[in-house]
């Protein structure tokens, strides 16, 4: 067989090498928290960008990409093919963790869903969570998720904030374990975030949300004064946290 010319070698090489996948800041923040060498399950993977990146970069040993819907799973398969990791990614069409065994993964990512959906997925899973790292990134109702976790045998080991397209999101690293009950401010604004540069922005967005809910209650026909007082107290507690953050970070006025 004739030897390929230099040009032919170059072409074969570029055809074989797939482009490197670049993640959005939100997904990159999650990827950076995945333990090196993890066996990961990405529940609700949609495009499959996260597991594809983790396999491509060599950060994980193997990856399961799962979704409850066929169309997103088909997208994940296309992503895996495009970025050259299809052989190493396992695809599961299933609700939550229904089609994934505990023995298959030591790290579970559930990201880009509402806090209530994340709770329902965890609640439905008959897993022994010891030794599992959970990376959770709620789009809404983070306070509900934090309260549920600490009331159901989970510990929020760390949180990190990330800004993506103008919104600040929290990424929670969670393990099995006992946990002290959260303060209302921790439930709303996260655990151990007082040194995070985005904390002020995140907390003020939560204050706004609470104040909007309080304004809605004040206009209701049957004023629920206990609920209103609770919302106002939570908003006041968060404002105190913002002051604490400003003092700690030298930005107080
Ligand atoms: C907005 S996408 C998030 C994709 C990706 N995880 C991210 O963070 O960018 C949500 C995906 O979760 C899937 N999903 C929703 N509920 C689910 C469930 N109970 N179990 C598995 N997947 C679910 C949806 O089909 C959708 O593809």
CB of 45 shorter than 6 A to ligand 1:
yes
Give the integer Cα–Cα distance in Å for 66 and 137. Answer: 16
- Of 229, 214, 197, nearest to 29 by C-alpha is 197
| Ligand 1 touching residue 79 (CB < 6 A) | no
Give the pLDDT band (50/70/90) at residue 16: low
Atom of ligand 1 at shortest range from CA of 121 = 19
Give the whole-angstrom CA distance, residue 57 versus residue 52: 8
pTM for the structure as a whole: 0.91
Residue 69 beta carbon below 6 angstroms from any ligand 1 atom:
yes
**Best residue among 25, 68, 79, 140 to mutate for probing ligand 1, ranked by most atoms within 8 Å of CB:** 68
User: How many helices (DSSP H) and strands (DSSP E) are in the chain?
Assistant: 9, 7
Cα distances (angstroms) measured from residue 98 to each of 94, 124, 127, 152, 221: 6, 8, 10, 19, 44
Of ligand 1's listed atoms, the one at least distance from the Cα of 137 is 8
pLDDT tens-digit profile of 103-155? 999 999 999 999 999 999 999 999 999 999 999 999 999 999 999 999 999 99
Please report, rounded to a whole number, the percentage of residues in the chain having pLDDT higher than 70: 92
Confidence of residue 249 (pLDDT cuts 50, 70, 90): confident
The residue behind tokens 């995945």 is 34
> Measured between alpha carbons, how far is 54 from 63 in angstroms, rounded to an integer?
8
Band of the pLDDT at 252, cuts 50, 70, 90? low
* 62-75 residue pLDDT tens: 999 999 999 999 99
- What does the mean pLDDT of the chain come to? 92
How much is the pLDDT for 79? Answer: 97
Q: Is residue 125 in contact with ligand 1, taking CB distance under 6 Å?
A: no
68 lines ligand 1 (CB under 6 A): yes
CA 67 to ligand 1 center in whole angstroms: 6
Classify burial at 113, counting beta carbons within 10 Å of its beta carbon; exposed 0-12, middle 13-18, buried 19 or more. Answer: buried
91 Cα to the center of ligand 1, angstroms: 14
Whether 125 and 23 have beta carbons less than 8 Å apart is answered as: no
Q: Per-residue confidence at 221, pLDDT binned at 50, 70, 90?
A: confident
pLDDT at residue number 82: 96
CA gap 253, 244 in Å, rounded: 12
Give 170-219 pLDDT, tens digit per residue. 999 999 999 989 999 999 999 999 889 999 999 999 999 999 999 999 99
Architecture, CATH, for domain 6-179: 3-Layer(aba) Sandwich (3.40)
């Amino acid at each position: 067989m004739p030897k390929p010319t230099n040009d032919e070698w170059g072409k074969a090489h570029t055809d074989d090498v797939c482009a490197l996948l670049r993640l959005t800041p939100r997904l990159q923040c999650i990827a950076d928290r995945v333990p090196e060498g993890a066996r990961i399950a990405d529940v609700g993977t949609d495009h499959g960008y996260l597991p594809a990146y983790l396999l491509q970069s060599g950060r994980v040993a193997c990856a399961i990409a799962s979704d409850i819907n066929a169309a997103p799973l088909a997208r994940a398969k296309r992503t895996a093919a495009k970025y050259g990791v299809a052989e190493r990614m396992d695809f599961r069409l299933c609700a939550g963790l229904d089609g994934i065994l505990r023995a298959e993964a030591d790290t579970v990512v559930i990201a880009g869903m509402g806090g209530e959906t994340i709770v329902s997925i965890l609640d439905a899973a008959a897993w022994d969570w010891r030794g599992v790292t959970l990376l959770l990134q709620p789009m809404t109702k983070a306070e509900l998720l934090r309260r549920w976790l600490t009331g159901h045998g989970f510990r929020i080991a760390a949180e990190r904030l990330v800004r993506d397209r103008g919104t600040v999101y929290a990424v929670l690293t969670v393990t099995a374990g006992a946990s002290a009950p959260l303060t209302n401010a921790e439930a709303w604004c996260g655990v151990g975030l007082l040194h995070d540069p985005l904390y002020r922005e995140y907390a003020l967005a939560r204050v706004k949300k609470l104040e909007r809910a309080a304004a809605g209650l004040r206009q209701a026909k049957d004023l629920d004064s206990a609920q209103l007082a609770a919302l106002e107290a939570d908003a006041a507690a968060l404002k105190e946290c913002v002051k604490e953050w400003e003092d700690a970070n030298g930005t107080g006025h």
